[in-house]
Amino acid sequence: MSINRKKIWSLSWPVIIANFTIPLVGLTDTVIMGHMPNSLYIASIAFGGIVFNFVYAGLNFLRMGTTGITAQKIGEKNHEEVFFSLIRPLLLAFFIGIFIYLLKNKIYNFSLYFLTPNKEVQDIFKEYLFIRLIGLPFGLINMVFLGWFFGMQKTKSVMLQLIIINFANIISSIYFSIILDLGIYGVAIGSVIAQFSGLLISILMFSNFYKNLNFQKFNIKKIINFQSFAPLFLISKNLFLRTIFLVFVQAYLIKKAGLIGINELATMEILLVIFSLSSYSLDAFAHSAETLVGNSIGSKNKNDLYKSIKSSTELAIIFALIIGCIFYFFGNYLIAIFTDIKILRMLTAEIWALVIITPFISTLAFQLDGIFIGATLAKEMRNSIMIACLIFYFTLEFVIDDSLNLKNLYSCFLLFLIIRGIVLTMYLKRVFTLTSNK
């Protein structure tokens, strides 16, 4: 396998297109609510979004663990385990999704305790939460399929799955929210329809890959062997903790912004959606690193490992600079798309300079995440984010303290991203110890 910029780009461009559709969902929801009479509607979306960020991001180990294990089994040319690396997390995803749905009342009560939303928001938030939870089992299963497609280097399948899910979400949300006038409930219904659509297309694509495969050669009993789940559980434990800390930071941003004021909360939600526009695009190069690093480690090829890291990181930095330039030249137009509420436009414009530099600042953290996922070094990822999270928290609580405002709050978020990248860089040598030249 020849690894160079052309190879990285061939894996990355479908993911860039696909990933760009992910924040379009949040953008669509925010734009719909941003043109409602007041800021309460965006605030409701923000609170609901935080809960589902906790759920989906907290369980994102199903995607990341599947990618790393699949990529390494491909490198080992173990086709039976490549198949089982999909089936095992699918079983986990289904049962976890059903279990969480049954706990919906407890999730709602806990979210009220942690997020402390205004009473005006609580009833709307509850209905939104309960409707969206219906689609959770479908969504978790889709995450596993997505991880497997990444590990198989089937990035066009990734593109197709994500495009269908996200455009189904956008179209359904617009139809139910605006045309049928269901407001925020229509947005929730659109999410459920989108996840079910994604499940259907994922099953069809998987069936196409394995339509000529002789399953009789596989020892199916290995699927339910506890020892065979051990690598996934080991990776999952650390990735779960890593992701919980990651989502905590965004939840804390929303919580702190809400303490400043309802308009600041709505503005922070807009800023986080804009952040996701760049982060999901940059993640394409991290995803390419995941599968190529995993393959290189599986095949014990240190030269390919070095090329995978170098080429994918170079392209990620170039793309980050391009995104920053777009934010610089078209900032006023982007802000106008999100909301026509004057105070929200003004608050967003005041810290736009920080938004412009965010893609470049975040590149190192994103890229190293992809490298460590491919290497299945989840403990190092956990440690880096714990350190960054603690520094973020203590800076916000004991350094900023009484001088809290939106600019200081977002600056702490950038500090968090910088620390993540620095700490992971210190662990990078461990990736190379997993392989040697062929």
Q: In angstroms, rounded to a whole number, what is the distance separating the alpha carbons of residues 241 and 364?
A: 20
Closest among 280, 301, 234 to 74, alpha carbons compared: 301
Q: Is 81 a residue whose pLDDT tops 70? A: yes
Q: Work out the mean pLDDT of the chain and round it to a whole number.
A: 81
- Band (pLDDT 50/70/90 cuts) for residue 359 is very high
Distance between CA atoms of residues 42 and 47, nearest Å:
9
Residue 154 placed within a domain: yes
Q: In the chain, how many H helices and how many E strands?
A: 17, 0
C-alpha 181 chain-centroid distance: 30
Residue 35's domain comprises: 5-212+221-432
Q: Is the residue at 437 inside a domain? A: no
- Token digits of residue 94: 């289904």
CA distance 304 to 296: 6
Between 289 and 223, where is the model more confident?
A: 289
Q: Is the pLDDT of residue 286 over 90?
A: no
Q: What is the pLDDT of residue 185?
A: 81
pLDDT in tens, 37-59: 556 667 777 777 778 777 777 77
- Domain contains 438: no
| pLDDT at 94 > cutoff 60 | yes
Mean pLDDT within 420-428: 92
- What pLDDT does 187 receive? 82
Query: What is the per-residue pLDDT for 210?
Result: 73
355-379 average pLDDT score: 89
The pLDDT of residue 350 is 92
Report the domain count for the chain.
1
pLDDT at 414: 95
Total-model pTM: 0.72
pLDDT at 172 over 70: yes
